[in-house]
Amino acid sequence: MFIFDVETLGKKSDAAILSMACIHFDVDKKPTPEELKTNAFFVKLDAQDQLKRLNRTITKSSVDWWAKQCFNVKNKSFFPKPDDVKLEDGLEMMRQWSKQFGNTKKEWVWARGNLDQLVLDDAEEQLQIEPVFHYSRWRDVRTAIDFLYESDSGYCKVDYNDFDPALHITKHDPIDDCIYDVMMLIYGVKSST
């Protein structure tokens, strides 16, 4: 299975994409957080190029939201860097990375909600490139967690050694967001209330 996360400059399907992360995981092998992080794909994208050349969009509310995030998260995804990658190149990099795992229709692709899929699908359609992940393979993490662990928030406790999201996860770091969702899917527990 794969888990995917994007960081964007908006909440619409045509939003400029700042960064993308993806992790392949095997539920049966019970991966550790460290293994998930080591095996993660990450690419920082050139948002300015997307805004100018591709007319992708940006919203003031998203920029304001980014301004409130911690420096490490902004530095990873928000601040422009000289080696930022063009969107189509980043998608090709992810496609090539995914091939080592087969990337077949039997491999589900998880995301938190549907924005990640919509943004990725819109970018691929705009660029007229074949999707990295076919639309029928996508699954929603929040729904699975709520169903499996009787949650109503899309989050649950994780029963894994000393794993504490407050200590081990930086919110809105796309790799950490993927890791947290995998940990909940595999090691989640029902609330005691």
Asked if residue 6 belongs to a domain, the reply is yes
Give the global pTM. Answer: 0.95
Can you tell me the distance from the alpha carbon of 188 to that of 165, in angstroms, rounded to the nearest whole number?
A: 12
Q: Which residues pair with 8 in a beta bridge?
A: 17
Asked if residue 150 belongs to a domain, the reply is no
> Which residues does 131 contact at the CB level (< 8 Å), separation at least 6?
120, 121, 124
- Residue by residue, DSSP assigns 66-98 as HHTS-HHHIIIIIS--TTPBPHHHHHHHHHHHH
> Which residues does 58 contact at the CB level (< 8 Å), separation at least 6?
9, 10, 15, 16, 47, 51
Q: How many domains does the chain have?
A: 1
**pLDDT tens for the chain, residues 1 to 193:** 999 999 999 999 999 999 999 999 999 999 999 999 999 999 999 999 999 999 999 999 999 999 999 999 999 999 999 999 999 999 999 999 999 999 898 899 999 999 999 999 999 999 999 999 999 999 999 999 999 999 999 999 999 998 999 999 999 999 999 999 999 999 999 977 5
β-strand pairing of 138-140 with 109-111: parallel
Asked if residue 167 belongs to a domain, the reply is no
Give the angle subtended at the CA of 180 by the CAs of 179 and 186, to the nearest 5°.
Answer: 90
Tokens 């996508």 -> residue: 138
Asked if residue 193 belongs to a domain, the reply is no
Q: Which domain holds residue 81?
A: 2-140
Asked if residue 172 belongs to a domain, the reply is no
- Judge contact between 181 and 173, C-beta under 8 A: no
Q: What CATH number does residue 119 fall under?
A: 3.30.420.10
Asked if residue 70 belongs to a domain, the reply is yes
Asked if residue 17 belongs to a domain, the reply is yes
Asked if residue 23 belongs to a domain, the reply is yes
